[in-house]
Structure 1
Amino acid sequence: MELLSIAAILFGFLIVLLAGGVWIGVALLATGWAGMHFAGGAIPAGSVLATTVWGSSASWSLAALPLFIWMGEILFRTRLSEEMFRGFSPWLNWLPGRLMHVNVLACGLFGSVSGSSTATCATVAKIALPELKRRGYDEKLALGSLAGSGTLGLLIPPSIMMVVYSVQANVSIIQVFLAGFLPGLLLMVLYSGYIAIRSLLKPGSTPPADPPMPFRKRIAESLNLIPVLLLICFVFISLITGWATATECAAWGVLGSLAIAWWQGALTWDTFWASVMGATRVNCMIMLILAGATYMGTSMAYTGIPMALASWVGGLQLSAYSLIAALTIMYALLGTTLDGISMIVLTTAIVIPMIKQAGLDPIWFGIFLVMVVEMAQVTPPVGFNLFVLQTMSGKDSNFVALASLPFFFLLVLAVAIITVFPDIVMVLPRMAFPA
């Protein structure tokens, strides 16, 4: 049977399982088992399953994953979300758009400690939406900025999705973390720039500025943010300078998060146990998906489908830009039905050979992939962040979708910028790890 027919059969089998409500990890395992029967009867499917599942789980690189998840769970249960608005707002009165920029900065800060787009969007929206509405800010702009800025949880390190990609693509976690830093800042600048321009063009969308606040009082209002900012800076500096590996940084992050929770008086036995159980549930879900994806990827390798696809793409002689455009459309469509981690583990084994064939760097592609997954989170009208905001605001889906549309296009612009200027992504990894 031709490889194209085998690939179509296995893909159809996977779609049927997912449509039937089977867990993603189990569906991947089942598809991998089916694929082994197309690879030749001499290969023992059970033995390969045992070795690949164990190999995908017993990875030193993956040790960072549960620790970063736990770090986010601990900080999620502190008063960080309450303090962000108070801490940032005194410093933003001079900017056009004023407190609307708190959405961007708060999402950037919370995203760097949670690693989750949904958690970032929901947490900041819970605090910011009522406050902005009470002060008379444009509700549509507030919802749009929250939808777009919520995606920063995936891009600004440490990011769970970056860890998953690094393991799947067999690249350095630290280099992928460093590569995401400047694109994350780029996206924040684009969002804040749009808010400022929109506020200048439509002055009525922004209420009058608050009375000036003395410098000492600004510092006092921001005092509770300082420990979290110091913790994030410590993690970044440790990664850049090579003082610690990604796993060691994650461990320090957990200790720092526990210290901050204790300092704020939020560290009780109930919150500690809730953070442990929350991290355990998320990590078990991800590990099952990774195990299934690894087994399916191994079975695909035995059939020869990935290399055949890579050779086929190479035969088309697509330019790097054409390949990136095609993959952008593909991931935007996948994002209407799958979450980001599932998109990565389902496609990495097949896409990475194509990327290498086109001469693109896997580190750069990891950041591109995270950004197009972000696009899927805010793609009207089916992005998951839009569902979260629709629930929290009580607005209909069309209102939220229209509000998010400018920020979706800003994400598209950011992807175009890093494609045309890849050094934005690669400059920090090259500085930290010179060839």
Structure 2
Amino acid sequence: MADTGAVMDIVILAVVIAVVVLGALGGLIVGSRRKKQLPPPPPAAPDITAPPAEPHVGEEAETPREEPRRTIEEVDLPAGAGPVVIEEPPAAEAPEIEIPEPTAGRLVRLRARLSRSQNALGKGLLTLLSREHLDEDTWEEIEDTLLTADVGVQPTQELVDRLRERVKVLGTRTPAELRVLLREELITLVGPEMDRTVHTENAAGGPGVVMVVGVNGTGKTTTTGKLARVLVADGNTVVLGAADTFRAAAADQLQTWGERVGAHTVRGPEAGDPASVAFDAVKEGKEMAADAVLIDTAGRLHTKTGLMDELGKVKRVVEKQAPLDEVLLVLDATTGQNGLVQARVFAEVVDITGIVLTKLDGTAKGGIVVAVQRELGVPVKLIGLGEGPDDLAPFEPEAFVDALIGE
């Protein structure tokens, strides 16, 4: 019994010790949890109505002192510094104004180009006329040569008849005599009595008004720009009207031509009313006391009735400001007889007063000069003989014929 009680005492003691140990460990764990720091609370939102806090001043900073304020004149600039200069951006340079060469003798200078393209006509006629026997076959060959050069049926018949009569009556046979004879007859055929002046004098005292018309691709805008150079070279002041509003680059192209010689360009919005631009151009030309106003119109297909009617409208609107002194029809000489069809239609819509033949140096059909004059009853006033800015020349019948038949 004594042993059993001792064992029980030991067990009880062990349980008590275990309870004490477990209690101590639990206290340590709870204490450590209580000592763990919680995260700081989020900062409070600033009060936007409160005045801003004064800035903190470091311990080394001096206490600010009250000093009298100085004016800007009393403040000294750093040593070596000069007055501040504000540089203005450089102004855009105006394009250099070109001085076109005088128009007098221009066709003589360009005669070599003309003679190269028309050489076959003149040489062919002289060769045929120099044959020992001028029989019917030879005269037929002469007719064919003239027709091939687009002289036209009626003018060709007239020329051959006169040549046959003079050769028969005068008995002209030497090459030199034949050349003189042919030159005289060709000049007569071309029409030396026609007035080929580009009129820029207005009877009312204002600027002369010139309208340039033609089909697409004949070089109207370029011709208008070159014509401005011709007039400036002869001492005139020029205003350009960019009434071709349907082709985006036309107004820019014409303005570039004008800037080269100091001509003012009047233009309107793209796809705007061409008649309005033409009206404004004449109005500004009068206000500027210009000598001439050149109006570039849009290229029109001679088969399109609506476009041709619009051209008539441009003419009528311009004439409300001033009378038209010239209506120049630009024809491509390389089109030959097709150009005559175009000429007829344009002549019905506007009163053509003169012809400008472009690309005459690129065709052997120089006889178109005679044919178109006969068709319209108006003179060829200007001819284009190249791509250069001064390759538009006043038409001179004698120089033209001399280029045809050579020296």
TM-score normalised by length of structure 1: 0.21
Larger Rg: 2
TM-score normalised by length of structure 2: 0.23
